[in-house]
Structure 1
Amino acid sequence: MPVQTTMDIANQLVALCRERKFAEAINTLYADDIVSVEAMEDPAMPARMEGKETVLGKNQWWFDNHEIHSITVSDPFPHGDRFAVYFDDDITSKETGERIHMQEVALYTVTDGKITHEEFFYQCPSQVVPEVANKLVELCNQGKNLEAVDTLYADDIVSIEAMSDPTMPARMEGIEAIRGKNEWWLGNHEVHETCIKGPFPHEDRFALVESFEMTVKETGKRCKMTEVAIYTVRDGKIAQEQFFYQEPDDQCQTPNV
């Protein structure tokens, strides 16, 4: 049997999660030596856990301790051997009775047709969200992308797209190159609406879910695009950004979120 691709695994995971078959997803799609890393530790368990049985136990603990009202699962956003998924949950803690609206980005790595690593990005009251993350959301929602690059990015910033484009490579380095990429994007698209969800922190990184409604100036097509971006912060500046998205079809559509 041929090894399944990253998108094969991603689509199966999303389908099972939408049916709330999380244990089945772990049993069928996860490697035996899976590593699972939360954004922070919990009194009930450590942030980092290893092994399929351990991760199954964590999953069971979560369902035993929460009443699930609804779970919304996005389409997968791929990038090489990894993919991201956005979860939007409406839950009640059985211990406290508190009803919680929880949003998170999960980042998965696939090796030899199995999920070998998962990381979760989310906000909690005890977490400190980097100031640069909140400022990036503010500027991007205002359409001030170039100001964000000039004021928030490190001079040696590395920017990595999910795929290369005829106009530019997937990987670009240096603030001048990234400013040029942003100028090209703004020059070739009329942006009607921007919606940024997040930031969702995890140690020295944070995730955003970025949605745009825009018109491609060359074709005149009005379309929507959604992507997940993972940013790495160093010394108070954004040192790396990586973008996860599906290749747009002729109608410039990307995953549901």
Structure 2
Amino acid sequence: MRRSGDVPAVTAPFRFPRFFVTSPAPCPYLPGRQERKVFTELSGPHANELNDALGRIGFRRSQSVAYRPSCVGCTACVSVRVVTNDFEANATQRKLVRRNDDLEITACRPWATDEQFQLLRRYLSQRHPSGGMAGMDEQDYADMVEHSPVNSVIVEYREPTVDGRPGRLVGACLTDRQADGLSMVYSFFDVSPEARPGLGNLIILDHILRARAAGLPYVYLGYWVKGAARMAYKTRYRPLEKLGPQGWTLMDDAELAPPATAHELA
């Protein structure tokens, strides 16, 4: 694959951000449960530092807001990150990288394009037709990409250039560069019947390699819920750390194994 492309100043807005809590809403991962989030605004000259500090304690960014789950009686959502220096791709992952070695990968400034939006629409319609982002329009997408108060890029994945014309866009990821790693805010890719298989996995592998090359120790993958099928892919990238009451700790194979079925327990 070809690729291109201490303590902050003491100010009240950084040291004492104002936090708010959302109203309860149906949980998108665990049926029958309610989710609630705590959030704060990212703004001003120290937005990057605040985002870095909050990222280390499990917050995620959405536009100019940093948030994390704050659900009553539930701690199922666990922040996870890949340890880039110790990551070793398995045979399947190495094969996937080789198979897509012709893709042209570029880190672009966070500027929304119609080509990106059309790819996102197709992705959402196939993968998340009833999700919270399914109704996004062009302005919503532009807000998601361009309203970033921190150091962000859009990483584009394209088929090879032909006769001087850029190849077709097959994947993209909105990514924040934090002090200690890359945070994958949102990725989307071609899911049509003729799409290259494994593009979502490839995007994560590429980010691990990018972070390692930049000397960044982690790739933040967001939240993981054990037993949630939509989250299972995150366990393929090891070593994986989780954030708990004692800070970040390595997850072992027993934690990462899928839950036993009723038949297996019988």
TM bracket (short chain): under 0.3
TM-score in terms of structure 1 length: 0.27
- Give the strand-richer structure, 1 or 2: 1
TM-score in terms of structure 2 length: 0.26
Higher normalized contact order (CA 8 Å, seq sep 6+, divided by chain length):
2
